[in-house]
Amino acid sequence: MSGETGVNLTLNLEGLLCPIPVVKVSKAIKELPIGGVLEATATDPGVLADIPAWARTTGNEVVKIEREGKLVRFSLRRLK
Amino acid sequence: MGDSTDGVTLIIISGDMDKVIAAFSIAIGAAASGKETGMFFTFWGLKAIQKGNLTGKSFFGSMMGLMNRGGINRIGPSRFNFWGIGRWMFNQMMKAHKITPLEELRKVAIELGVKLIPCEMSMEVMEIKREDLIDEVSDSCGVATMLELAYRSKVTLFI
């Protein structure tokens, strides 16, 4: 396990469309300890809105979410 | 269902592919957000949880089973179905855009713990037996059970 700011798990969601990215994120985050960070890449532009919405609903934190060309890169911290 | 008060209840009366896709997508999203999620299938909606064999015992029941044959891969879109050509076209388009197929969506919903509940009365009327439904469904029930789920939900949708 890397430190508090390090990434504990990475997830490739490229090519996946709604509702699968949210499913994979919800499953993956359960593998982390509280405070753990999940980093993921996706190509579905819908995740720009969906991941923050999912985080608000589940009480987790979006550390960052940004678009790099066709790729969306985001990281989430497990709070619950 | 447990005793949460912010669950999601979906009532699926439609047996159309597009509406069933929407229903399963919503259910999956809710379950992935940690909400207790139940899907209550009634009338044409039952097709989405049928195994796909022929059903019915009486003359009318068997006719219904033949003309309204269930099975998640047999249902067509609500518009432009054209006796199955539309369904084929839709599936091709979904494949091209890498959308998760309907059967896979149902599998994911089951994995996430979404409850699939068949309506007893519709099963009686349409002569659909428990063994005509996929194994993963819960016991069939009526409106009181569906309402109990809805009272405990913050979101209830009729699809």
Structural contact between residues A72 and A50, judged by C-beta atoms closer than 8 angstroms: no
What's A9-77's CATH class? alpha beta
pLDDT digits (tens, 9 = 90+) for B47-91: 999 999 999 999 999 998 998 899 999 899 998 888 888 889 888
The 10 Å Cβ neighbour count of residue B95 is: 10
Contact B32 A25 (CB under 8 A): yes
Span B7-158: which CATH code? Answer: 3.40.1260.10
Structural contact between residues A69 and A45, judged by C-beta atoms closer than 8 angstroms: no
**Edge-to-edge strand order for the sheet containing B153-158?**
B115-118, B37-41, B7-12, B153-158
Q: What are A65's two structure tokens?
A: 């979410």
DSSP-H helix ranges across chain B: 17-32, 59-67, 85-96, 102-111, 120-126, 143-151
Find the mean pLDDT for residues A42-60. Answer: 95
Q: Are strands B7-12 and B153-158 parallel, antiparallel or unpaired?
A: parallel
pLDDT at B95: 87
Interface of A with B (CB under 8 A): 15-20, 22-23, 25-27, 54, 57-58
Residue labelled with tokens 């063994």: B131
Contact B108/A at CB under 8 A: yes
Distance CA B143, CA B133 (A): 19
Please count the CA atoms within 13 angstroms of the CA of A75 that sit on its side-chain side.
15
pLDDT digits (tens, 9 = 90+) for B17-34: 999 999 999 999 999 999
Residues of chain A positioned with their CB less than 8 A from the CB of B32 = 19, 22-23, 25-27, 54
Find the mean pLDDT for residues B113-142. Answer: 95
Q: What are B15's two structure tokens?
A: 């047996």
Residues of chain A positioned with their CB less than 8 A from the CB of B25 = 18-19
pLDDT of B2 higher than 70? no
CA distance A63 to chain B (A): 18
- Residue, of B97 and A41, whose pLDDT is higher: A41
Distance CA B33, CA A57 (A): 6
Distance CA B12, CA B89 (A): 24
Active site residues of A: 18
Distance CA B159, CA B151 (A): 18
Find the mean pLDDT for residues A51-74. Answer: 96
Cβ-defined contacts of B91-95 (< 8 Å, 24+): none
Domain ranges of chain B: 7-158
Mean pLDDT of chain A: 92
Domain ranges of chain A: 9-77
